Structure 1
Amino acid sequence: MVEIPESAITETFLAASGPGGQNVNKVETAVQMRVNIRALDLAPYALRKLKTLAGSKMTVGGELIFTVRKYRTREANRIEARKRIADIVEEAHQRDAYRVKTRPSRAAKARRVDAKKKKSSVKKMRGKPKLE
């Protein structure tokens, strides 16, 4: 798992909806974590991939925002938010496999055309017979 420095994280607590009964109305158990991605010192490829993975969770200012209100306790929500952040940063560090473009061979093209012709003839036979 990736270590995220405490200096890069800002957390605020919100009133949560969901499970918790009366407790949910009194205690701010939901957590909103903001991570400054510039403080993470990511490689350029990882930064590009992180922006793609994060989508709407990334702000224009370069902050990654996660809001967690899954659990009834503040501490459990904090742990879950840190886990989600670490997971997405770790996934951003994994390089995609290099794909080599290939073209179908002449034989493969011929097989494809033959299969299409066969399918076409089968479908032609399904129609009503013509009376001549």
Structure 2
Amino acid sequence: MNREALAALLAREAECTAVRAQGAGGQNVNKVSSAIHLRFDVPASSLPPAHRARLLALNDQRLSSDGVIVIKAQEQRTQARNREDALQRLLELVASVATPPRKRIATKPTFGSKQRRLESKARDGQIKALRRRAID
């Protein structure tokens, strides 16, 4: 799934609500709901099953226990720009799980690393042997 199609799908299925922004800012913050709460229901989405499974497996504080991603955008001054910001952050999150993780290929330790480990063990053993009480 290419990035443009993914962005269109996320924009269609995400639910945006306007809320008041937090923090200082004077009258504008008190009167205008410029922050955006974006909610994206992962299990109910039309993402490919592999994407959904990897999204639900994420250990992310934005993901609720029922599988809803909640993103709050309040950095910008306008609602439209906050909506774009929230959608962009959702797109980056989904794009991060779009490619499956690589399988780890098991490797053997090299001959040299085995030799160095054994020499180190022998050296440590000799040091410890010198700490013992001398027996005549």
TM-score range, shorter chain: 0.7 to 0.9
Structure 1 pair 27/73, CA: closer, same or farther in 2 (3 Å)?
same
Deviations 1:79-125 (A, max 9, x none): 1000011111111111212211123134312113435666x6xx99x
Report what 1:72 is aligned to.
Answer: 77
SS in 2 for 1:56: coil
Q: Which runs of 4+ in 1 moved over 4 A?
A: 115-118
Report what 1:130 is aligned to.
Answer: none
How far is 1:6 from its partner? 4.5
The size of the alignment, in residue pairs, is 122
Structure 1 pair 30/98, CA: closer, same or farther in 2 (3 Å)?
same
- Which aligned pairs between 1:12-91 and structure 2 lie closer than 5 A? 12-18=17-23, 20-53=25-58, 55-91=60-96
Q: 1 CA distance for matches of 2:99 and 2:67?
A: 20
SS in 2 for 1:11: strand
The answer as to whether partners of 1:54 and 1:88 remain within 8 angstroms in 2 is no
Report the residue type matching 1:49 in the other structure. Answer: R
The answer as to whether partners of 2:18 and 2:35 remain within 8 angstroms in 1 is yes
Structure 1 pair 70/117, CA: closer, same or farther in 2 (3 Å)?
farther
Report what 1:128 is aligned to.
Answer: none
1:101 partnered with 2:124: no
The answer as to whether partners of 1:12 and 1:32 remain within 8 angstroms in 2 is yes
Q: 1 CA distance for matches of 2:59 and 2:112?
A: 43
Unmatched runs of 5 consecutive residues or more in structure 2: 129-136
SS in 1 for 2:58: helix
Report the residue type matching 2:30 in the other structure. Answer: N
Q: 2 CA distance for matches of 1:80 and 1:66?
A: 10
